[in-house]
């Protein structure tokens, strides 16, 4: 598991014990400029790192044995700091979202270089996440509501041949006031997508119509207890690989909200909320769906949980990892 | 003096300590960590003014031996506010005069925290039951119930 430690200017690598879920530190690499979002090309063993203070994306070849990194290339200096990066399904293009600069970008990367096409598309303040669906033809771009964000989801067609993003006919999926969609997770059956809503502290499920590239809202559920009135915002969101459970962290309540998911209807049912690290900005689930890892921006720790058959989380252990963990990315070794 | 080595989490931070086996959690919090928001009242488990959360549930800290808190999460009144923002229960107690002398207030607030985690409407009787282990010698029970009720209504967003 790779993780970025923004305040320490490091990317570290930890090994997951596949039977117990416990972590063991392997290596770290110094990368200046507040490293934050990560994306990975498993076939070429390339890790892409978004650096928010410089701001640019850099590529590194990683050694699968110990996660050590060797610098490959630096992308162009950007007009804003990337808060989310991803690779399209061909691993030829890198997509990035910029919530302060209000844009999405596409960079041709190939073997980790940034020598090809590079598009910068202004979309509006608050753009927070972007990646393509399993068909590699649809990309969604949620915009949060805070910090003058647009509070909307915008939809794009993606061309794997040219790397172009073009607006769909039903480009805009407008949102109720102050909902603030931030991140999304697409169900493995491709029929549904689940968004975390940063300002509303909730998750919303939508049906995906691939032909018209539109979303149909199904259900919204709070991630907080009914009576909670403290400060809180949602951050990431993640489904288990089988799509049966959904998890979204609460920054403030400092918990992970868990839901079971009906893969036929896209409806969610609350499983519970499970205490985790202070300001749990990021989480990731291992590829077997047995373990969930939640990192605390404020605590500098990662909590490892076992995912029980009913979707509840059982704490395995906590690990001190360093200052301001900003991203977790699990790479499954065959 | 027999000692024991334990690791536990206090207000989100993990601590490793070597403790006298006779220490109570109340002694540890006040004398070793200087967290005096947790009050010492009867020291017999009757007044509730030393209430803290142990793995999310209220307990009388004077009745818990430190030797029994290994790997547990302890939450005290000091952790409720952050960056100058008071917890909704603290705001509600201020706005509703929920504390007179204030000595029992931390205990009442910590006993009310689990109510804020519930997903169903809560009646005044249920609030009374949840606070049944806490005593107020100023007899401010009406205002205390009003305070918790107001916080549960979501009228006091921190």
CB–CB of A229 and B116 under 8 A? yes
Cis peptide before A314 (omega within 30 of 0): no
A178 contacts in B (CB within 8 Å)?
none
CB–CB of B122 and A270 under 8 A? no
CB–CB of A225 and B117 under 8 A? yes
Q: Which of A230, A254, A270 sits opposite B88 (nearest CB)?
A: A230
Instruction: Look at residues A132, A119, A126, A158 and name the one whose alpha carbon lies nearest to residue A144.
Output: A126
List pLDDT tens digits, range B20-56.
Answer: 999 999 999 999 999 999 999 999 999 999 999 999 9
Instruction: Give the chain A residue whose CA is nearest to the CA of B89.
Output: A229
B73 contacts in A (CB within 8 Å)?
275
pLDDT at A230: 80
* Angle formed at CA A37 by CA A150 and CA A204, multiple of 5 degrees: 45
B14 contacts in A (CB within 8 Å)?
301, 318, 320
CB–CB of A227 and B118 under 8 A? yes
Q: How many CA atoms lie within 13 A of A201 on its CB side?
A: 20
- How far B4 CA sits from the closest chain A CA (Å)? 21
SS3 for chain B is CCEEEEEEEECCEEEEEEEECCCEHHHHHHHHCCCCCCCCCCCCCCCCCCEEEECCEEEEHHHCEHHHCCCCEEECHHHCCECCECCHHHHHHHHCCCCCCCCCHHHHHHHHHHHHCCCCCCCHHHHHHHCCCCCCCCCCHHHHHHHHHHHHCCCCCC
Interface of B with A (CB under 8 A): 9, 12-14, 56, 73, 82, 85, 87-88, 115-122, 151-152, 154, 156-158
ipTM exceeding cut-off 0.85 for this assembly: no
CA distances to A5, A90, A126 from A35, rounded to whole Å, are 7, 24, 20
CB–CB of B119 and A318 under 8 A? no
pLDDT (average), residues B140-148: 95
A231 contacts in B (CB within 8 Å)?
82, 85, 158
pLDDT at B158: 45
By DSSP bridging, strand B73-75 and strand B3-10 are parallel
Q: How far apart are the first and last CA of chain A?
A: 14
Percent of chain A past pLDDT 90, that is, above it, reads 90
pLDDT at A147: 85
CB–CB of B118 and A301 under 8 A? no
B150 contacts in A (CB within 8 Å)?
none
CB neighbour burial string for B125-156, b if at least 16 within 10 angstroms, e if fewer: eebeebbebbbbeeebeebbbbbbbbbbeeeb
Which SS3 state, helix, strand or coil, does residue A6 take? helix
CB–CB of B120 and A277 under 8 A? no
Of the pLDDT bands very low, low, confident and very high (cuts 50, 70, 90), residue B130 is very high
- Residue pairs between chains A and B whose CB atoms are closer than 8 Å: 49
List pLDDT tens digits, range A36-92.
Answer: 999 999 999 999 999 999 999 999 999 999 999 999 999 999 999 999 999 999 999
Calpha distance B138→A115 (Å, rounded): 75
- Sign of the CA dihedral with A300 first, then A301, A307, and A310 last: negative
CB–CB of A273 and B117 under 8 A? yes
pLDDT (average), residues B85-102: 92
- How far A34 CA sits from the closest chain B CA (Å)? 23
How is residue A250 annotated by DSSP?
A: E
What residues in chain A have per-residue pLDDT under 50? Answer: none
Q: How far apart are the first and last CA of chain B?
A: 45
Instruction: Look at residues A159, A115, A161 and name the one whose alpha carbon lies nearest to residue A139.
Output: A159
Which SS3 state, helix, strand or coil, does residue A334 take? coil
CA distances to A119, B38, B45 from B103, rounded to whole Å, are 63, 9, 16
Calpha distance B90→B95 (Å, rounded): 9
Which SS3 state, helix, strand or coil, does residue A282 take? strand
Asked if the model's pLDDT at residue B95 lies above 90, the reply is yes
Instruction: Give the chain B residue whose CA is nearest to the CA of A278.
Output: B12
CB neighbour burial string for B28-37, b if at least 16 within 10 angstroms, e if fewer: bbbeebebeb
Residue with tokens 């209504």: B153
- How far B7 CA sits from the closest chain A CA (Å)? 12
Answer left, alpha or beta for residue A243, where phi above 0 means left and psi between -120 and 50 means alpha: left
Residue with tokens 């039977």: A19
């Amino acid at each position: 598991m790779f993780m970025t430690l923004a305040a320490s200017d490091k990317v570290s690598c930890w090994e997951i014990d596949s039977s117990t879920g416990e972590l063991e530190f392997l290596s770290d690499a110094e990368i200046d400029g507040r490293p934050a979002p990560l994306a990975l090309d498993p076939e070429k063993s390339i890790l892409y790192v978004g650096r928010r203070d410089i701001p640019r994306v850099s590529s590194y070849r990683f050694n699968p044995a110990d996660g050590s990194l060797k610098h490959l290339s630096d992308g162009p200096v950007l007009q804003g700091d990337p808060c989310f990066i991803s690779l399209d399904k061909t691993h030829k293009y890198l997509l990035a979202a910029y919530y302060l600069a209000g844009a999405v970008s596409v960079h041709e990367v190939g073997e980790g270089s940034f020598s090809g096409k590079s598009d910068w598309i202004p979309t509006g303040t608050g753009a927070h996440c972007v990646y393509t669906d399993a068909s590699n033809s649809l990309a969604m771009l949620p915009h949060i509501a805070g910090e003058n964000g647009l509070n909307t989801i915008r939809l794009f067609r993606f061309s794997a041949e040219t790397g172009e993003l073009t607006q769909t006919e039903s480009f805009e999926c407008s949102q109720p006031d102050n909902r603030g969609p931030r991140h999304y997770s697409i169900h493995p059956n491709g029929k549904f997508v689940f968004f975390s809503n940063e300002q509303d502290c909730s998750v919303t499920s939508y049906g995906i119509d691939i032909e018209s590239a539109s979303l149909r809202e199904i259900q919204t559920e709070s991630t907080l207890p009914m009576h909670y009135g403290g400060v809180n915002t949602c951050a990431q969101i993640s489904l288990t690989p089988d799509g049966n459970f959904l998890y979204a962290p609460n920054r403030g309540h400092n918990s992970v909200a868990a839901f079971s998911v009906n893969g036929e209807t896209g409806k969610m049912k609350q499983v519970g909320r499970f205490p985790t690290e202070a300001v749990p900005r990021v989480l990731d689930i291992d590829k077997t769906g047995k373990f969930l890892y939640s990192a605390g921006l404020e605590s500098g720790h990662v909590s490892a949980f076992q995912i029980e058959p009913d979707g509840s989380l059982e704490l395995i252990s906590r690990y001190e990892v360093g200052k301001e963990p900003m991203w977790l990315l699990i790479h499954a070794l065959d | 003096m027999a000692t024991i080595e334990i690791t536990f989490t206090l207000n989100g931070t993990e601590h490793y300590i070597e403790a006298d086996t006779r220490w109570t959690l109340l002694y540890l919090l006040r004398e070793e960590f200087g967290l005096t928001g947790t009050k010492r009242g009867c020291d017999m488990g009757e007044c509730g003014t030393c209430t803290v959360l142990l793995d999310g549930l209220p307990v009388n800290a004077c009745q818990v031996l430190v030797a029994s808190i290994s790997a547990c999460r302890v939450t005290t009144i000091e952790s409720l506010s952050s960056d100058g923002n008071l917890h909704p229960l603290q705001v509600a107690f201020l706005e509703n005069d929920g504390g007179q002398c204030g000595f029992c207030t931390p205990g009442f607030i910590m006993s009310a925290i689990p109510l804020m985690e519930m997903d169903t409407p809560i009646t005044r009787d249920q609030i009374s039951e949840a606070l049944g282990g806490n005593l107020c010698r100023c007899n401010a029970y009406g205002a205390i119930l009003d305070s918790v009720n107001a916080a549960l209504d979501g009228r006091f967003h921190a």
